[in-house]
Amino acid sequence: MVTRAESAAATRDALLRAASDLLDHGGLDAVTLRAVGARAGVSRGAPYGHFADKEHLLTRLAIDAWHTLADELRRIQDDPRLAPVTRLKRTLLALIEVGRERPHLYALMFRTPESDTAALFDAVAESHGRFLGLVADVVGKDESRRYGALLLSSAHGIAGMELSGHLAAEKWDTSGEELVDILVGSLKARSG
């Protein structure tokens, strides 16, 4: 027999999956509590029992996305077969890949939240901490924040230019992967 807590958790998970699907296919405007409930196959009032409003739901999606990214960074960081430079490249490409595969979620991750900011900032801090550790493995701890900011803002720019179509290979004769190689290669040359 399913407990009330298990049933509530299952409903919440279904709502989050439905919201994620709506976001992926229609952007922020497609995500309404009514549409999420309908997509999840629950009562009209069910979403309101789990989320105060649309903003709380969107913030939860962003928090989950940052946790997922942190998990991916952990896997990269813990892979003993990878050299530090390779780990850093894969980390940057993991972020860019979110933008490529789930552009609306990517935009949500980088927008200023209107609710539950502490939980979101904690989730972001987890990813950033892992990222800075990977940067420090290449440039040293003392330089990790400056170069981390450079790398993260560059990866964000690459993702943004790809999403908008402004990083077309025929225009720039390059790709996001090649730009990441150049960025990380310049750090390696500087620190080496």
Select 53-191's CATH number: 3.30.420.40, 1.10.357.10, 3.40.50.720, 1.20.58.220.
Answer: 1.10.357.10
Measure Cα distances from 113 to 99, 124, 128 in Å. 18, 12, 17
What is the pLDDT at residue 189? 61
CA separation for the pair 158, 92 (Å, rounded) = 10
* Residue type for position 116: D
CATH class entry, domain 1-51: mainly alpha
What is the pLDDT at residue 2? 73
What is the pLDDT at residue 192? 54
Supply φ then ψ for residue 32, to 5 degrees.
-125, 155
CA separation for the pair 50, 37 (Å, rounded) = 11
What is the pLDDT at residue 114? 80
What is the pLDDT at residue 103? 96
What is the pLDDT at residue 1? 76
What is the pLDDT at residue 191? 57
pLDDT tens-digit profile, the chain (192 residues): 778 888 888 899 999 999 999 999 999 999 999 999 999 999 888 999 999 999 999 999 999 999 999 999 999 999 999 999 999 999 999 999 999 999 999 999 999 888 778 899 999 999 999 999 999 999 999 999 999 999 999 999 999 999 999 998 889 999 999 999 999 999 866 655
What is the pLDDT at residue 36? 96
CA separation for the pair 60, 80 (Å, rounded) = 32
What is the pLDDT at residue 123? 93
Give helix 176-191 / helix 84-101 axis angle, nearest 10°.
Answer: 150
Residue 56 near residue 116 (C-beta atoms within 8 A): yes
Q: Do the two domains 1-51 and 53-191 of this chain adopt the same fold?
A: no
CA separation for the pair 62, 33 (Å, rounded) = 16
What is the pLDDT at residue 6? 84
The domain locations on the chain are 1-51, 53-191
Supply φ then ψ for residue 114, to 5 degrees.
-100, -10
What is the pLDDT at residue 67? 96
